[in-house]
């Protein structure tokens, strides 16, 4: 019990430290003593930068990190593959396609329409998965392969849009790479109710996720309806990942490596795995965006690129370890 509790406290402390550093550094440096006044006092010279620019980005990074990481936990548990992530069932690619379609085909649409379209794209990918997998009765490995195929189709459609509309490519590439640039309190208010409402529901289903780790035969013998439970748990994963992607763009690797790091620390008990993975996902998002903001001042590197730089070597390590484990 001590190790999981200590791990949660350590991940929370890292998140707080990263958030403080995030508020201090950037194109404009804020002294530590001015951060509190910048948060609370509207007359402070630092108020706009701290309260209106950096604090919303911090909160969006944390909330999106929660959603992507917990979505990854659910998918890895259902597919029973540590290499699974929201990309496996095409969520990110579906959201990216719909967002690109709005950018290219409806460039004058209101700004709030982009995340709505991305969310629709994520659910469209899920509905296709549901249709092609025959109501989720396929084995987990086959379910993953169907998801990869769906993601490939959406990615090809996105590339087609980019080729057809090269003059509007900048905004599309920024969104498709994943970015927290210009995120505001509106984005926080969009993410917060979904994240706050769904994470407790996922945690309440920890026991079911534990049972799914035992295999379909044992799960059925214990009285669980595999197709029904897998559907609702996938719905939770799709909603969390989809709403996160709709707010921050097509950020990869968070849903892959955060659950895996958490699992290596506390094991497969979802009562501990879910909250620790959420905190690690938030830490990775904050770290990636923090590095992206300071690495080539005064310009920014999109957080999706930074998380890929962080996550790709770890992904290669996982692939190598899985290959060695299987001989």
Contact 220, 100 (CB under 8 A): no
How many whole angstroms separate alpha carbon 228 and alpha carbon 129? 15
Domain residue spans in the chain? 2-25+46-326
Q: Look up residue 297 and give its DSSP letter.
A: T
> pLDDT tens digits for 81-107?
777 788 777 888 898 888 888 888 887
Contact 254, 305 (CB under 8 A): no
R_g (Cα) of the chain, nearest Å? 20
Contacts of 65 (CB under 8 A, 6+ apart): 244, 254, 258, 278, 281, 282, 283, 284, 285, 286
- Measured between alpha carbons, how far is residue 136 from residues 31, 132, 139, 231 in Å? 54, 9, 8, 7
> pLDDT tens digits for 256-275?
889 989 998 998 899 999 99
- What are 244's two structure tokens? 């996160």
- Measured between alpha carbons, how far is residue 18 from residues 8, 15, 24, 76, 202 in Å? 15, 5, 10, 27, 26
CATH number for the domain whose boundaries are 2-25+46-326: 1.10.3470.10
- What is the residue-level pLDDT of the chain in tens, covering all 327 positions? 458 889 999 999 999 999 999 999 888 888 888 888 888 878 888 888 988 999 999 999 999 999 999 999 998 888 777 777 887 778 888 988 888 888 888 878 886 787 788 888 888 988 888 788 765 555 656 666 787 888 889 989 988 888 887 766 776 777 777 888 888 898 899 899 999 999 999 999 999 898 888 777 777 777 777 878 888 898 899 889 888 888 888 887 899 889 989 998 998 899 999 999 999 999 999 999 999 999 888 888 888 889 888 887 887 777 677 667 665
How many whole angstroms separate alpha carbon 171 and alpha carbon 316? 30
Q: What is the DSSP string of 71-102?
A: HHHHHHHHHT-TT--TTTTTHHHHHHHHHHHH
How many whole angstroms separate alpha carbon 159 and alpha carbon 93? 11
> pLDDT tens digits for 156-183?
998 888 888 776 677 677 777 788 888 8
Contact 62, 285 (CB under 8 A): yes
- Three-class secondary structure of residue 135 per DSSP: coil
């Amino acid at each position: 019990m001590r190790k999981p509790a200590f791990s949660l406290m350590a991940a929370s402390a890292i998140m707080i430290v990263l958030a403080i550093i995030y508020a201090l550094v950037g194109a404009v440096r804020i002294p530590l003593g001015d951060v509190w006044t910048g948060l609370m006092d509207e007359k402070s010279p630092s108020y706009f930068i701290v309260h209106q620019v950096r604090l919303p980005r911090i909160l969006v990074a944390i909330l999106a990190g929660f959603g992507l990481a917990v979505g990854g936990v659910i998918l890895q548990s259902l597919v029973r593959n540590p290499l699974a992530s929201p990309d496996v069932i095409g969520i990110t690619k579906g959201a990216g396609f719909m967002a690109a379609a709005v950018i290219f085909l409806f460039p004058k649409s209101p700004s709030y329409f982009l995340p709505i379209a991305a969310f629709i794209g994520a659910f469209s990918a899920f509905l296709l998965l549901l249709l092609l997998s025959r109501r989720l009765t396929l084995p987990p490995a086959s379910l993953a392969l169907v998801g990869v195929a769906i993601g490939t189709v959406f990615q090809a459609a996105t590339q087609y849009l980019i080729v057809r509309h090269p003059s509007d490519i900048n905004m599309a590439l920024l969104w498709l790479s994943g970015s927290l640039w210009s995120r505001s309190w509106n984005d926080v208010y969009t993410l917060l109710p979904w994240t706050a409402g769904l994470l407790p529901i996922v945690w309440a289903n920890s026991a079911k996720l534990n049972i799914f780790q035992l295999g379909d035969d044992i799960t059925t013998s214990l009285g669980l309806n595999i197709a029904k439970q897998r559907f609702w748990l996938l719905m939770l994963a799709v909603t969390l990942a989809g709403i996160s992607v709709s707010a921050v763009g097509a950020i990869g690797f968070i849903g892959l490596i955060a659950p895996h790091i958490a699992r290596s620390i506390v094991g497969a008990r979802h009562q501990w795995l879910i909250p620790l993975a959420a905190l690690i996902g938030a830490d990775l998002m904050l770290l990636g965006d923090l590095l992206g903001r300071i690495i080539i001042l005064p310009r920014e590197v999109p957080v999706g690129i930074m998380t890929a730089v962080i996550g790709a070597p770890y992904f290669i390590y996982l692939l190598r370890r899985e290959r060695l484990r299987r001989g």
